[in-house]
Amino acid sequence: MLTLRKTKPGFGLDLLDGADAAPPTAGEVTVRVENAGICGSDVHAYEWTDGYGFMTPHMPIVMGHEFAGRIEAVGPGAEVAVGTRVTIMPGVTCGVCINCARGDRRNCLKRGSIGLTRHGGFQRYVTIPAENCLPLPASVDTELGALTEPLGVGCEAVLTGEVGLGDTVLVMGPGTIGQAIALFARAAGAGRVLIAGKADGPRFDVLRALGFNDILDVAEAPLADLVSAANDGRKVDVVIEATGYPPSVVDGLGVLKSGGVFVVAGIHPGPVSLPLTDFVRARHQLRATHGCARPTWDRVLSLLGRDPEAFRPMITHRLPLERGIDGFELSRQRAASKVMLQP
């Protein structure tokens, strides 16, 4: 079975033949993967930027944590039928640590991740816990189903920012997570959604296809000038960052109103230095978001099921798994928005 693996620390991935997926044991299922998206965090692991050393003890590992497919086989006690179309929640919890025991499984002390610490979806078949599979709405195919995880990350960021009716929201970063944030900010009732990026034409085109026209290109002028011109000289109510570029945090705080909320969603390769006196005097609220809570998945699937085709423009490239490295390079060079690999 063809697999796309991270085999060692350092730049790159390997396309290798591997053993077939292990048969499912108690509480497990085998999923036949139909679509698997390349995530920004996958690209970071491909490049081997800081922050991914936790993967090393698990190598060689089949990557891929944004995927959907059909149940191929069911182990004892797994309450899902063969043939069911499912999307995958990548977080794997132990169920027995102190946090799991009190119902806080999102903060499991032994938390793992499908595609990062155990084999994921860049292969035809993968065996995973049944509880990580969520049935897709009838109107949602597995290509759109594979968007559920990044959409959930975007939705969680909007919830963390407490975006409300009529708010002006600045989204920093026009990639898939930024697109998801923009979509859910609009769904939350934001009066205006501004999206900032830097000379990112292909992703700007996707945003326009999704119905967003307030796009700010910081290659043309400083962010503060662009926001002021677009927002009648006013600062914004909420900033949600999805760039992974540390200096963008300071730039974003500079256009946030006093008492406004700044949410960091990007994964950053280094530290940031904040002008703390300005930060304190402006009473800015700095928050972090990562992944998404279980109820957020339900919100996303509900919205996705109501109008699935509204999300299709997010997917710009579809490639067979054997062209997986090409897909990573397209993503890395920002020549694509969301690349779907089809094992």
Average pLDDT over residues 338-343: 97
Could you say which DSSP state residue 330 is in? H
Instruction: State the pLDDT confidence band at 272, using cuts at 50, 70 and 90.
Output: very high
220 pLDDT exceeds 90?
yes
Average pLDDT over residues 268-288: 94
The two structure tokens encoding residue 114: 């499908």
Task: Specify the CATH superfamily of domain 2-146+307-342.
Answer: Medium-chain alcohol dehydrogenases, catalytic domain (3.90.180.10)
Q: Is 26 exposed, middle or buried (0-12, 13-18, 19+ CB in 10 A)?
A: exposed
Residue 250 pLDDT: 96
189 pLDDT exceeds 90?
yes
Planar angle of CA 184, 189, 191, nearest 5 degrees:
110
**Is the Cα torsion angle 145, 148, 150, 154 positive or negative in sign?**
positive
Average pLDDT over residues 266-273: 90
- Please provide the average confidence, as pLDDT, over all residues in the chain: 96
Q: What is the CA radius of gyration of the chain?
A: 20
Average pLDDT over residues 264-271: 92
57 pLDDT exceeds 90?
yes
Average pLDDT over residues 105-110: 92
- Whole-prediction pTM: 0.95
Q: Please give the share of the chain, as a percent, with pLDDT higher than 70.
A: 100
Return phi, psi of residue 106, to 5°: -65, -25
The two structure tokens encoding residue 210: 């999704």
**Is the Cα torsion angle 81, 83, 88, 93 positive or negative in sign?**
positive
Average pLDDT over residues 99-126: 95
Task: Specify the CATH superfamily of domain 151-288.
Answer: NAD(P)-binding Rossmann-like Domain (3.40.50.720)
Residue 17 pLDDT: 93
Instruction: State the pLDDT confidence band at 257, using cuts at 50, 70 and 90.
Output: very high
Return phi, psi of residue 154, to 5°: -65, -40
Average pLDDT over residues 217-241: 97
Instruction: State the pLDDT confidence band at 270, using cuts at 50, 70 and 90.
Output: confident
Residue 164 pLDDT: 95
145-165 pLDDT, tens digit each: 999 999 999 999 999 999 999
Residue 126 pLDDT: 98
Q: Where would I find the beta strands (DSSP E) of 150-289?
A: 168-172, 192-197, 215-217, 236-241, 256-264, 285-288
Name the β-bridge partners of 114: 118
Could you say which DSSP state residue 22 is in? P
Residue 248 pLDDT: 95
Residue 266 pLDDT: 94
Round to whole Å and give the CA distance between 163 and 185: 6
Instruction: State the pLDDT confidence band at 51, using cuts at 50, 70 and 90.
Output: confident
* Residue range(s) occupied by CATH 3.90.180.10 in the chain: 2-146+307-342
Instruction: State the pLDDT confidence band at 273, using cuts at 50, 70 and 90.
Output: very high
CB proximity list for 195: less than 8 A, separation 6 or greater: 170, 171, 173, 174, 178, 182, 207, 212, 214, 215, 216
Q: Is 59 helix (H, G, I), strand (E, B) or coil?
A: coil
50 pLDDT exceeds 90?
no
Residue 19 pLDDT: 85
* Residue range(s) occupied by CATH 3.40.50.720 in the chain: 151-288
Closest to 214 in 3D by CA, of 244, 243, 192: 192
Instruction: State the pLDDT confidence band at 187, using cuts at 50, 70 and 90.
Output: very high
123 pLDDT exceeds 90?
yes
269 pLDDT exceeds 90?
no
Instruction: State the pLDDT confidence band at 18, using cuts at 50, 70 and 90.
Output: confident
Could you say which DSSP state residue 118 is in? B
Residue 261 pLDDT: 98
Q: Please give the share of the chain, as a percent, with pLDDT higher than 90.
A: 96
84-98 pLDDT, tens digit each: 999 999 999 999 999
Average pLDDT over residues 241-261: 96
Return phi, psi of residue 186, to 5°: -65, -45
